[in-house]
Amino acid sequence: MPLVSFFASITLLDVVGSAFFLVGLLFVYPAFRYISDDINSHTWPQAMGVLKSVEAFETIVEGTERNNYKSYVRHGCKLEYEYNVEGKDYIAPVIKTARDKNEAKQIEAGHSPGETLPLHYHPKKNDRHRFTDTPASNNILWLAPVIGFCGFGLLVLYVSRKFY
């Protein structure tokens, strides 16, 4: 009978809180992998990426019902660096966002094929790379969904147990 009384005491708030907590846990592995790669990448072997292509682009983002089907244009510049490890070539793409078409063209004009940029590549999985100028503050963004979902789930569970 203790199992029956346990299930009888579960409220809707318990289910919602548990669901949010479990969704937050789904983000733990990708966050851990990305953060550990960023931390460890400084000890990885280094290669020089050679800029092969640079292209300003604009993408039309279709609107949804949520924003009354209002479409907008997103501008940016795509840079493709190529690096070589043990005789095999790999591509390291970089997307730089821009506010408008003119800024995208300025980014494009500021880069020319043949320029180099240092990067570190994973010693066992050579297609995984990190540019040396990537700020470490990017890591905190990967923790936001973990903290947000798990924190909200725990808060709901606390309220459920404390007040209901």
| Domain edges within the chain | 1-43+135-164, 45-121
Compute the average pLDDT of residues 27-52.
87
Residues 97-138 pLDDT 10s: 999 999 999 999 999 999 998 999 999 998 888 887 666 666
Q: Please check the confidence at residue 26 and state whether its pLDDT lies above 90.
A: yes
**What pLDDT band is residue 91 in, cutting at 50, 70 and 90?**
very high
Burial of 57 per CB tally in 10 Å (0-12, 13-18, 19+): middle
Confidence at residue 72, expressed as pLDDT on a 0 to 100 scale: 81
What's the rounded Cα separation, in Å, for the pair 117 and 44?
16
Whole-prediction pTM: 0.67
Give the separation between CA 120 and CA 126, rounded to whole angstroms: 9
Res 71 pLDDT > 90: no
Q: What is the DSSP letter of 65?
A: G
**What's the token pair of residue 13?**
């708030």
- Beta 72-85 vs 46-61: how paired, if at all? antiparallel
pLDDT the model gives residue 103: 94
> Percent of the chain, pLDDT > 90?
48
pLDDT at 6 over 60: no
Q: What does pLDDT average to over the chain?
A: 86
Rounded CA-CA distance 104/91 in Å is: 21
Q: Pick 6 or 76 by higher pLDDT.
A: 76
